[in-house]
Amino acid sequence: MRNKFVRVLLATTATLLLSVGVFAQAPGGAATAAKDLQGVWLFGGGGDAFDLPSNVPFQDAARKKFDSERNGHGPHRVIDFAENTDPFITSCDPLGVPRILLANHPFKVVQTPSEVILLYERSHDFREVYMDGREHPKDLDPSWWGHSIGKWDGDTLVIDSIGFNDKTWLDYQGLPHSEALHVIERYTRIDHDNLRLNLTIDDPKAYTKSWDVARNYKLKPWDIGEDVCVHANEEHFENGVVKPASAPAK
Amino acid sequence: MRSRRGMEIALTLFLLAVSGVAYAHHGTEAYAMEKKVTLKGVIAQFEWTNPHSQVHLDVTDDKGNVTHWNFESQPPSILRHAGWTKDSLKVGDPATITFHPVKNGASVGILMSVVLADGTELTPNEK
């Protein structure tokens, strides 16, 4: 009887200690509250982060545009930068949304009472997500990053974004979009170390219906580094690697 | 035993898939990703830079001819999580480099690992 009591006491104590340990791992000393997504997150498997599915519901014009694109990834691959049409490669254009979500670089979530700030290592870009209850402005000028508002749906952060220009690709293989692009991101922290993104892409001028994609991210004990696209660096890489690699075979 | 072999094959395929993803920014179309080559030489230059760090290796053959190789790797922001620093490689360091070669026969490759004289191994994979 006494032994049983000791075993129960030890088990309870161990459970309590483990619980404290888990919460103590949170970045910045903050407890892992359900609505706390703060920290640095990196794509962690569950599909190819670089591309959205290629069996998307194209409208004809979007299909033609996609078929005309050439880059180092996706179904229309080229080696030579001279043939490459990827605006991120040729012009160092901003990746925009949702393509930034597919990069193999971490991003950091910062939460304040009135907004969520997303800091991206790739291109050293950022987004502000307004959490103060405002609506999207009626007269948005199309922009690289659009306009984002957020709210909590239970423990899921829902980010609604519109107001994009049509110069970015949706992903690395070259899926196009129009200025009517509407992106909904649903982030759920499924446990301390794992973040789930359910992404809805709706563009009634480029696709026949909206479609959903899911991605997983892992918590990392990292700082955000600097990974910027600079023309001089791209040219140096092109001269040192791409041109010799794309020359006719010896 | 058979299932363990299956696990090993699955793990290898997974790692290959992951390495493909990691380099997909500019693409891997130029490379024979199924091939793996190892060369010994000396570090001629180490460029710690975006969009891809570059490791240059001079390889001397039996007749004394020197071939200059250039290997692309990840940018500093990713390599630092794999244990690299800007000082990881110095000009003149003897090194053994394993890489995926380009398809056209040029002296270019995607770096898989560098082993230094003291046995230190550097890879682009996160530690």
Distance in angstroms (rounded) separating the CA atoms of residues B81 and A227: 13
Residue B13 located in a structural domain: no
ipTM above 0.85, yes or no: no
Q: What is the pLDDT of residue B4?
A: 53
> What is the count of residue pairs from A and B with beta carbons less than 8 Å apart?
90
B contact set with A (CB within 8 A): 21-22, 24-31, 47, 49-52, 54, 70, 72, 75-78, 80-81, 102-108
pLDDT at A201 over 70: yes
CATH (domain of B84): 2.40.50.140
Question: Is the bond preceding residue A98 a cis peptide, omega within 30 degrees?
Answer: yes
pLDDT at residue A138 is higher than 70: yes
Tell me how many domains chain B contains.
1
Is it the case that residue A99 has pLDDT exceeding 90?
yes
Please name the residue ranges forming H helices in chain A.
Answer: 2-24, 60-68, 87-90, 231-237, 243-246
Domain, as residue range, for B106: 29-122
Pairing between β-strand B66-72 and β-strand B54-60 as defined by DSSP bridges: antiparallel
Query: Do B25 and A72 lie within an 8 Å CB cutoff?
Result: yes
Residue burial A183-197, b: 16+ Cβ < 10 Å; e: rest: bbbbbbbeeebebbb
With residue A158 as reference, give the H or E element that holds it: strand A156-162
Rounded to a whole number, what is the distance in Å from the CA of A22 to chain B's nearest CA? 22
- Average pLDDT over chain B, rounded to whole? 85
Among A104, A234, A239, the residue to mutate for chain B (most B Cβ within 10 A): A104
b/e A44-78 (16+ beta carbons within 10 angstroms → b) = eeeebbbbbeeebebeeebeebbeebebbbbeebb
Note whether residue B7 is domain-resident.
no
Q: Which segment of A50-54, B2-6, B20-24, B106-110 scores lowest on mean pLDDT?
A: B20-24
- Rounded CA-CA distance A223/A107 in Å is 9
For residue B11, tell me if it sits in a domain.
no
Dump pLDDT digits (tens) for B54-93. 999 999 999 999 999 999 999 999 999 999 999 999 999 9
What domains does chain A contain, in order, with CATH numbers?
36-233 (2.40.128.20)
In a domain, B9, yes or no: no
